[in-house]
Amino acid sequence: MTDTGELGIADTLLLCLRHFGDAAQASILRYSQRRLRTLALSGLLECNKLAVNYSNGIKKLPTAFRLTETGADLVEHIRGIRPRRPAKSEISPITLMHRLAVVKTRVAIDDAHVALGLPKPPWIMEADQYEDREIKLADPAERRFILRESWGSGPSRISACPDASTLLTVPDETGEPRWLLAAYLEQDLSTEGSAVANKAAGYAKLLDSATNHYRRHWPHAHFARVLFVCPSQKRLENVARLIVELPGSENWRLAVNTALLPPPAALTEPVWHDVHGNAMPIFPVVPAPREPAP
């Protein structure tokens, strides 16, 4: 439940792999399904079983779970720390699939850190809100949500709405952790077509080295990048062509979701591409695992 409260949402297969064992084994998968069903029936987890009605039939979506406020109360009672992301509102099929994809990319990056003997990085998720200010529903999104930013007004208004963000510690040429990279995740399901190019202006403003707006989220970051994750190589190439001439495109790195596994590929393998097709890793040098402090 702690994991679900941190990630915000997770499907059956992800939770099975992380807490019960190899999901490819039918007996383990059935056991995890029973355990999750029991937690849902007890009101500790919210179970989302959705389906989409296509013209050629109904397609079932992955069963997803979110921590309820009751579950958050129990975790806080046991661990002394309240989970950050219990369920607060209903979720639509499109939002569900997108959030699950974001979480899977986050987990791939987290697991890459663990495989290298590094601590997991901090994250800000799309729905995270400010806790140090009084917020009203009528407030604009950029006042309520940490990652929402906007500049200007009317037709000239520019917005940035990342799906998630993390602070990565990138090693230098000696392998020692040194550079702090503010990474902004843009998770693509190939549903936006050419509209993805509309996001480039907002990211160009957010990552502008002259103003460093990204330091509103990560004050100590040395530089920032957009990590664009999509479902196919064809989509990756199409997006690169769409944005290659746009301002700020030099800060984009694109990858196919399946290339981020197994760990630590998401950090150490050249699975990320710039808009010109050059492949590179996030970590140019793999840091040596550090000994724990005495």
* Cβ contact 285:175 at 8 Å: yes
Closest CA to 75 of 21, 39, 124: 39
- H-state helical runs in the chain: 2-7, 12-19, 26-41, 69-79, 93-115, 141-144, 200-206, 233-243, 265-268
Residue-wise over 63-101: b if at least 16 C-beta within 10 A, else e?
bbbbbbeebbebbeeeeeeebebbbeeebeeeebbbbbb
- pLDDT for residue 123: 98
**Number of H helices and number of E strands within the chain?**
9, 14
Q: What is the pLDDT along the chain (294 residues), one digit of tens a residue?
A: 888 999 999 999 999 988 888 777 888 888 998 999 999 999 999 998 876 655 555 566 788 999 999 999 999 999 999 999 999 888 887 788 899 999 999 999 999 999 998 999 999 999 998 887 777 777 778 888 999 999 988 888 999 999 999 999 999 888 888 899 999 999 999 887 788 889 999 999 999 999 999 999 999 999 999 999 999 999 999 999 999 999 999 999 999 999 999 999 999 999 999 999 999 999 998 887 665 544
- pLDDT for residue 93: 77
Angle between helices 12-19 and 93-115 (to 10 degrees): 20
pLDDT for 215-255, tens place per residue?
999 999 999 999 999 999 999 999 999 999 999 999 999 99
- pLDDT for residue 62: 81
Contacts of 129 (CB under 8 A, 6+ apart): 135, 144, 145, 146
